[in-house]
Amino acid sequence: MYAGSKIIGKDLRLINSKLMSIASRADKLVPGIKSHLLSGGKKLRPSLLMLAYRVFRSGNKDRYLKQALDFGAVIETLHNASLLHDDVIEDSGIRRGRRTINSLYGNKKAVLAGDLLTAFSMSLLYNLKSSKTIEKTLRLFGRAARELVKGEIEEVTGLFKLTISEKEYFDVITGKTAGLFMAASEAGAVLARAGKKQTKALKEYGRHLGLAFQIIDDILDLTGTEAVLGKPAASDLLEGKFTLPVIYALQKADKIEKNRIKNIMLNIRKGKKEAGGVEYIVEVIKKYGCLDAAYVKAKEQVNKAIFALEKLPKNEFRRALEKAASFVLERER
């Protein structure tokens, strides 16, 4: 995680304790959830929520702190539930360097495990006193969950689509990735009872940060190794996903290159992985500087995220949010 997370270390430990409680309950029905899923990850989404909250409320005895911690645990659980479903959709065997739940127990149990995590996470909200703030936060999470599923559906619908546009790509990642980032940062402001302008600023911060995060993720999928990625390299291509670097390559490639890429992807779709095929596509991507072009887009989003923070109070938590944005560009995974 990035350096700025140290100032919310206690908050993250409390959130992790809540997550382990949920995981222990789920583990009784699906052994492996606790050790294979919730024990890993960067906890970026709950970190964003707590940093956004702490920008306005830094006291340890704050009356609304428990609400923020509970919602931090809920959004991380929702994220992990979506990963369980992703692994089924993508037929993934490895995540974070470990075997996936679906590879251990089959797709049916993995889907139900994702549903189980979602159900257990809701239990954290049972004892929260109803208020307009809580209702608004629940609506934010509901919207994010809806957009997440919508983005995933759009991505699956667009698999192996050689004509996918940059706009379609951004529509997909706005839903499947940026939505939870947006909900996390906006919810932190809402739970802290921040003003409308500051809440909107953090919503925009989360949106731009989420877009940058996914673009960098897609770049790393093409440049990283399995040891670093925790899953096979170029897995997006093998699944038929055309990410931003690939979209740029298809726009710049000549007719011969486009036809070769088309044939390679058609073979992958038929289950016939061509020897050196994926490597060829990556070479075309590099030839036309498409990785750099995608990185520039990610940097633009990070700059927009940092600019949105100008409306926030100047303190160590705002600086930590700025560091979070820099972390997205610098990370290896």
Which pair of structure tokens corresponds to residue 169? 């790509």
203-240 pLDDT tens trace: 999 999 999 999 999 999 999 776 666 667 788 999 99
Q: What is the pLDDT of residue 6?
A: 82
Quote the Cα angle for 234-113-118, to 5°: 100
Calpha distance 253→286 (Å, rounded): 11
What CATH number is attached to the domain comprising 76? 1.10.600.10
Beta bridge partners of 99: 94
How much of the chain, in percent, has pLDDT values that exceed 90? 65
Q: How many domains in the chain?
A: 1
Which pair of structure tokens corresponds to residue 152? 């995933």
Judge whether 171 and 34 are in contact, CB under 8 Å. no
User: Amino acid letter at 2?
Assistant: Y
Q: What is the pLDDT of residue 332?
A: 61
Residue numbers of the domain that contains 102: 3-330
236-294 pLDDT tens trace: 999 999 999 999 999 999 999 999 999 999 999 998 877 889 999 999 999 999 999 99
Judge whether 96 and 40 are in contact, CB under 8 Å. yes
Calpha distance 190→196 (Å, rounded): 9
Q: What is the pLDDT of residue 1?
A: 46
In the predicted structure, residue 138 carries a pLDDT above the cut 80: yes
Q: Which distant-in-sequence residues (6+ apart) come within 8 Å of 145 by Cβ?
A: 78
CB-neighbour burial class of residue 21 (10 A; exposed 0-12, middle 13-18, buried 19+): middle
Calpha distance 208→191 (Å, rounded): 21
